[in-house]
Structure 1
Amino acid sequence: MDIRQLGYFVAVYEQGSISAAARHCCVAQPSLSAALRQLEQELEVTLFVRLSKGVTPTEDGEKLYGHAGRLLGQLQSLKASFVQPVARVKFRLGLIRALGVERMSQLLREFSNAVPGLELHLVEPTDSCDARIITPQLLKAGEAFQPIWHDSYLLAIPLGSALSLQQEIQLDDFEQLPLIKRTPCDAWNTIYPELIRRGIKPDLRADIQTIEYALGLVSAGVGCALVPNLDSLLQRQDLILRPVNLPKLKRELGLAYNKNHTSAPLSVLLQLCQATA
């Protein structure tokens, strides 16, 4: 038994999923699974029950979690007592909405780990900042752009809707369709002019800003909403997601930064974004 195995075990316990724990620990899933199996073999117990959507701890897993948490906490305190203070490095990063919590968390975790003493401030993309994660349409004069992710858009549909029987949504299906408008939204800016051009009039039920509220209204049966195909949304069971037959219904996300401004943290973040892309 070693500290690495215990750290992986605690991550699986707290994340409720081996794949999520692997992302949290920045390690390949097979490596984490192998370490977990070794720990179970050494203790001669089963620590988790594998389910279709994650894991749940056994009685032995619950018992080990208490011991492991204390040991890891003591180790962290021991290391901290010998660490010299690190100069704080402030970095302001502007973020647009609906970037995807899971992938953004991983990027920010890697950024924080790679820059000692980093003091990260997440702000609105319109605020003064050192860099921004935005779409190309929001670029300012003098900014460079490093692509990171490319997303397509899906139509989120309430359970029981007749549209859920279709594998793909056509533009004609938007005629009098109960629709939740979300602004700002690149998909809306793309699809709405096309609907107007074709004389198609959806039935707008709400105009809101966040994906969370839009999905809540979809789940409640108020109407449909255009949302990016984020992994976290694809796992939801309270609504249906279908592609829309409009090739241009996509967005690009990337890191925007001043071409004439360089810093060590910005260079690190730029490298991470290039690796992610």
Structure 2
Amino acid sequence: MDARLLKFFIAVYEEKNLTRAATRCFVSQPNISNGIKQLEEELDKNLFIRHKKGVELKTEAHYLYPIAKRLVGEMNSLSHIFKERQFNNKIQIGVAESLPQEHKQQFFRTTTNLCESVEWVTKDIGRENEINLLVREWKHEEDLFLPLWKEDYVLCIPNDNPLINKEIIELSDLEKETFIHCPPCEAHKQCLSILNNETNKMLTIANCSTKTETLTMLMAGLGVTFLPEAFVDGWYGFEIKKYNGPRYFREVGLAYPRKSLRNPAIAQIIEYFSKNELKTNKFTEFGYYLK
């Protein structure tokens, strides 16, 4: 049924006059009259009794009116529903701290464009989330893991340290240097292993609970440290130096229980990144000298 005919009917029913109904609908009176006649033919019922002063409502018109109002109201609301994006794909995601902003921005930008009308609920990483963006070592044993990017750990030297002038740092050069450590860091044990194998004179100046605190100590010039390359990109007070030694890195990706794939938005994200790389705008891999 033509929604326009129902709108004509509603106008005539409420105005009880064809001329006023035509003015309200921005059409001519013959259009209203023909529309009502067409509607009556489709329903095989007479809705109005016409007379010189207007129209008289029949029982059939009283019956049709609330139905017509509901149908027209629902049809009018359709465009608003989709414009307001009320059909949201909700995803509760845990996001680990210390991940590079550029990578996180590109992840959320890509996935939001990928999934129509997605609504994000961000939390600290944990098992209560449908999916977590984190370092591989932090995932729960039973969760699946899809890697998105790798970050090299780089040697950071404060600007006032004499080693800043060396083109390539030997690990033996780090003897007697003060080190800033981050014990909760996923690469802390790797770092200690490298240093302890090469020098017996490592001096600890600070043990920090987060990478952000480690970065603060580094920028203050307290000592040298290893940090993810993308994490330190853009900060000041130190330089990244090439070193002759083992390379180590962290792998960042999506950890999720299999049941989370029941969420169509998450299933779409996993399928996409299974076939496509996460593209970033501003970070290129740093060259290292390896043993």
TM tier, smaller:
0.5 to 0.7
The superposition leaves residues 110-166 of structure 1 with CA deviations (integer Å, 9 ceiling, x where unpaired) of 222333342212222235111122233233333222111111111221112111122
User: Are 1:233 and 2:232 an aligned pair?
Assistant: yes
- Report the CA distance between 1:225 and its aligned residue: 2.0
- Counterpart position of 1:106: 106
Amino acid at match of 2:251: E
CA contact (8 A) 1:156 1:215 kept: no
| Structure-2 residue corresponding to 1:249 | 248
Quickly say closer, same or farther: Cα 1:85–1:96, change in 2 above 3 A. Answer: closer
Alignment of 1:1-277 (within 5 A): 83-198=83-198, 200-230=200-230, 233-262=232-261, 263-274=263-274, 275-277=276-278
Contact (CA 8 Å) 1:155, 1:227: kept in 2 or not? yes
Partner Cα distance (1:176, 1:124) in 2? 38
Structure 1 runs (4+) deviating above 4 angstroms are: 79-82
TM score, norm. by length of structure 1: 0.62
Deviations 1:74-122 (A, max 9, x none): xxxxx98981441333312222222201111111122223333422122
Determine the C-alpha separation between the residues in 1 that align with 2:81 and 2:147. 41
CA contact (8 A) 1:174 1:200 kept: no
Residues 1:93 and 1:240: Cα distance change in structure 2 (over 3 Å): same
CA distance in 1, matches of 2:136, 2:171: 26
Pair 1:113–1:159, CA change in 2 (3 A): same
The AA in structure 2 aligned to 1:185 is C
Q: 1:141 to 1:160 in 2, by over 3 A?
A: closer
1:223-273 residue CA offsets vs partner (Å, 9 max, x unmatched): 12211111x734334211113433341121121121343121212322443
User: Structure 1 residues 183, 120: CA separation in 2 closer, same or farther (over 3 Å shift)?
Assistant: farther
Paired letter, 1:215: L
For this pair of structures, how many residues does the alignment match?
Answer: 198
Q: Distance in 2 between matches of 1:212 and 1:139?
A: 21
How far is the alpha carbon of 1:172 from its aligned partner?
2.1
Distance 2:80 2:228 in 1: 41
Larger Rg: 2
Tell me the CA shift for residue 198 of structure 1: 4.6
Q: Aligned partners of 2:201 and 2:128: how far apart in 1?
A: 39
AA aligned to 2:250 is: R
For residues 250 and 116 of structure 2, the distance between their equivalents in structure 1, rounded to whole angstroms, comes to 33
CA contact (8 A) 2:196 2:202 kept: no
Q: Decide whether aligned partners of structure 1 residues 201 and 187 sit closer, same or farther in structure 2, where only a CA change above 3 A counts.
A: farther
Residue 188 of structure 1 deviates from its aligned partner by: 1.8
Preserved contact between residue 215 and residue 232 of structure 2 (Cα < 8 Å): no
Contact 1:132–1:255 (8 Å) recurs in 2:
yes
Q: Write the distance in 2 (CA, Å) between the matches of 1:184 and 1:256.
A: 19
Distance 1:260 1:83, change over 3 A: closer
Task: Give identity over the alignment, percent.
Answer: 21
TM-score for the superposition, normalised by structure 2: 0.60
The amino acid of 1:252's aligned partner reads: E
Which residue of the partner structure matches residue 58 of structure 1?
Answer: none
Alpha carbons of 1:264 and 1:201: their partners in 2 closer, same or farther (altered >3 Å)? farther
CA RMSD of aligned residues (A): 2.6
Maintained 8 Å contact 1:143/1:256: yes
Call closer, same or farther: CA 1:184–1:91 in 2, change over 3 Å. same
The answer for unaligned runs of 5 or more in structure 1 is 1-78
